Amino acid sequence: MPRSKRDKKVSLTRTSKHGMEWKKEMVENIKTKAEDATGIYAFEVVGMRTAGIRELRRRWRESTICLGKNKIMALALGKNAEAELKENLHKVASRLTGSCGLLITKESEADVVKFFENFAEWDYARQGNKATETVVLEEGKLTQFSHAMEPHLRSLGLPTSLQKGIITLVKEYVVCKKGQILNANQAKILKLLEKPMAEFRIVLDSVWLAPDEFRVYPRVSEEVDENEDVDEIEDVDEMDEATQVTEDDDDE
């Protein structure tokens, strides 16, 4: 039977881009929040994770956290001295490059700095992430897994066999070494072993303080996870459109 011309495949994971009106609304929203703020911080996101962003929003629910399209955030603050919302805010806009965001708040600088110095959320690593430690499985029984898991573990490369209904590692197996770039199987094994190796954290880059003070924070470390999943920014957009901008395909 010939295929109908009306029979079209529709991807359920594809999302449409926000229109111009939505982007204008986001710009106005950021401007409104910035008008009353005493501190506007540009920050860098290391190890982007949706769960980490949710926790961050929960802890700073009285403030505004903006993630997404840098051009929109920069436009809202003002890209130059002539267009800036407040004096020296264009200097914050110029810092918005890469995987970054804004924190717009009335909290004191001391509280903000202290919080982010101690804030970190751990999650399971993905393919392409670096191993933070060496993991070695000794020869012997893997009692944490049910017997039904044996074929799956073997498919991931583990030298296992089923002995008297118990999954047994027939020889020592090195899952990963510290600093190694993980492949898909290694990431899956580490998740099964419940060993999180992906750290989500926020690095403060610069700050504008009312009425017009601007400063860049010294960087302790320039290490950034270049393999972070930027697609997760789209997932985060659904949580709070009122205080967020999106990351379009043509960004940066």
Q: Do domains 20-124+198-243 and 135-192 have the same CATH topology?
A: no
- Write the pLDDT tens digit of every residue in 163-185: 999 999 999 999 999 999 999 99
pLDDT < 50 regions, the chain: 222-252
Quote the pLDDT of residue 8.
66
Give the residue extent of every domain in the chain: 20-124+198-243, 135-192
Spatial separation of the C-alpha atoms in residues 200 and 98, rounded to whole Å: 16
Q: Which candidate, 90, 69, 77, 86, places its Cα nearest to that of 22?
A: 69
Domain at 20-124+198-243: CATH architecture: 2-Layer Sandwich (3.30)
At the fourth CATH level, the homologous superfamily of domain 135-192 is: Ribosomal protein L10, N-terminal fragment, domain II (3.90.105.20)
Phi-psi region of 6 (alpha: psi -120 to 50; beta: other; left: phi over 0): alpha
Quote the pLDDT of residue 161.
94
Quote the pLDDT of residue 35.
92
